[in-house]
């Protein structure tokens, strides 16, 4: 029994060790880093800039992808009913990241389909559409739309994100000097909190010869962080706080105006009285 067990382990290692060592080799071939590694979002945040640098095997091209964690987004579809354009369907798009940017030192269109699929990089965001899921609620039940129906929503969302510069393809944007590369990227203000994963591939003669990954961590701090955290985790209390602030603000400004009115009318009366004298 013990012999069989050892044999199975030996066979397993024989089959899988080349893959593991290949993966290790790919990682050893390449290095990747981002500066800064952490971005703090507070009330003064307007977006920012980060520098991505790395090393690659000589003579290879670099393909780089920035992708935030997938999220859920509500979308509406408008259609013409009679003479009017109205919303005809409400859906939720799941599994689509809010940020997706692809940068390269060479043409992306020139990648072979196999390579494109392995790296999940193309210039039409097909790799995003493949992972996206569109659902709608019918009579309280969640229904997943088939690919032919969901395609228009995924295309629509990608277009919205492209217009807001959250999705971008930047071919030939990476500067390669010898065996190192670097690029500056704009961090949009809408970047979601959490990890944005940066993956880089080194490609030579149609093969991946290097792969590396690093993370950009985005965190909310100060009042912005508190408000977001409360809104997500403690809705009722957050709502009550919002109402109390609004009431205090509204009544406070109203009282201040009343006080100013009294001062001005008193001054007016004094002025009028002195005019009479």
Comparing CB distances to another protein, the nearer of 2 and 81 is: 81
CA angle 102, 100, 157 (to 5 degrees): 125
Under the criterion CB under 8 A, does residue 79 sit at the interface with another protein? Answer: yes
Given 71, 110, 147, 249, the residue binding another protein (CB under 8 A): 249
Q: Residue 270 Cβ, how far from another protein at the closest point, in Å? A: 21
Given 25, 35, 72, 77, the residue binding another protein (CB under 8 A): 77
Under the criterion CB under 8 A, does residue 240 sit at the interface with another protein? Answer: yes
Looking at 7-15, 61-69, 167-175, 184-192, which segment touches another protein (CB under 8 A)?
A: 184-192
8 Å CB contact between 76 and 84: no
Under the criterion CB under 8 A, does residue 47 sit at the interface with another protein? Answer: yes
- Two tokens at 151? 């395609």
Q: Nearest to residue 97, comparing CAs of 64, 66, 76, 67?
A: 67
The residues that bridge with 167 in the sheet, in sequence order, are 100
Residue 224's contacts (CB-CB under 8 Å, 6 or more residues apart) are 41, 42, 43, 45
233: number of CA atoms within 13 Å, CB side? 6
Given 235, 266, 267, 269, the residue binding another protein (CB under 8 A): 235
Q: Residue 222 Cβ, how far from another protein at the closest point, in Å? A: 9
Count of positions on this chain that bind another protein (CB under 8 A) = 65
- How far is residue 164's CA from residue 162's CA, in Å, rounded to a whole number? 5
DSSP characters over 59-117: T-EEEEEEEEPEEEEEEEEEEEETTEEEEEEEEEEEEEES-EEEEESS-STTS-HHHHH
Under the criterion CB under 8 A, does residue 90 sit at the interface with another protein? Answer: yes
Under the criterion CB under 8 A, does residue 231 sit at the interface with another protein? Answer: yes
Comparing CB distances to another protein, the nearer of 115 and 227 is: 227
Neighbours of 174 (CB within 10 A): 21
Under the criterion CB under 8 A, does residue 20 sit at the interface with another protein? Answer: no
Under the criterion CB under 8 A, does residue 141 sit at the interface with another protein? Answer: no
Given 56, 100, 103, 157, the residue binding another protein (CB under 8 A): 157
Q: Nearest to residue 119, comparing CAs of 182, 65, 155?
A: 65
Under the criterion CB under 8 A, does residue 155 sit at the interface with another protein? Answer: yes
Burial of 49 per CB tally in 10 Å (0-12, 13-18, 19+): exposed
Residues interacting with another protein, by CB under 8 A?
Answer: 41-47, 73-88, 90-91, 139, 152-153, 155-157, 159-160, 164, 189-190, 192, 220, 223-225, 227-228, 231-232, 235-236, 238-243, 245-247, 249-255, 257-258
């Amino acid at each position: 029994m013990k012999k069989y067990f050892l044999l199975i382990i030996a066979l397993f290692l024989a089959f899988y060790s080349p893959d593991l060592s290949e993966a290790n080799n790919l990682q050893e071939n390449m290095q990747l880093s981002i500066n800064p590694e952490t971005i703090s979002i507070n009330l003064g945040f307007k977006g920012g800039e980060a520098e991505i640098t790395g090393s690659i095997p000589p003579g290879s091209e670099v393909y780089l992808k920035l992708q935030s964690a997938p999220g859920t987004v509500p979308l509406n579809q408008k259609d013409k009913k009679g003479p009017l354009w109205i919303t005809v369907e409400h859906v939720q798009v799941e599994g689509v990241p809010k940020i997706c940017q692809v940068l390269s030192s060479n043409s992306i269109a020139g990648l072979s389909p196999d390579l494109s699929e392995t790296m999940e990089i193309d210039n039409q965001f097909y790799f995003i559409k493949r992972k996206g899921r569109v659902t709608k609620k019918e009579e309280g039940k969640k229904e997943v739309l088939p690919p032919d129906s969901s395609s228009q929503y995924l295309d629509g969302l990608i277009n919205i994100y492209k217009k807001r510069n959250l999705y971008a393809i930047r071919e030939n944007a990476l500067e390669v000097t010898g065996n190192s590369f670097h690029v500056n990227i704009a961090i949009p203000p809408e970047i979601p909190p959490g990890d944005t994963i940066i993956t880089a591939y080194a490609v030579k003669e149609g093969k991946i010869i290097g792969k590396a990954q690093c993370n950009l961590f985005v965190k909310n701090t100060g009042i912005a962080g508190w408000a977001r955290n409360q809104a997500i985790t403690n809705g009722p209390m957050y709502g009550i706080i919002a109402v109390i602030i609004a009431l205090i603000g509204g009544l406070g400004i109203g009282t201040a105006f009343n006080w100013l009115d009294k001062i001005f009318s008193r001054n007016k009366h004094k002025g009028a009285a002195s005019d009479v004298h």
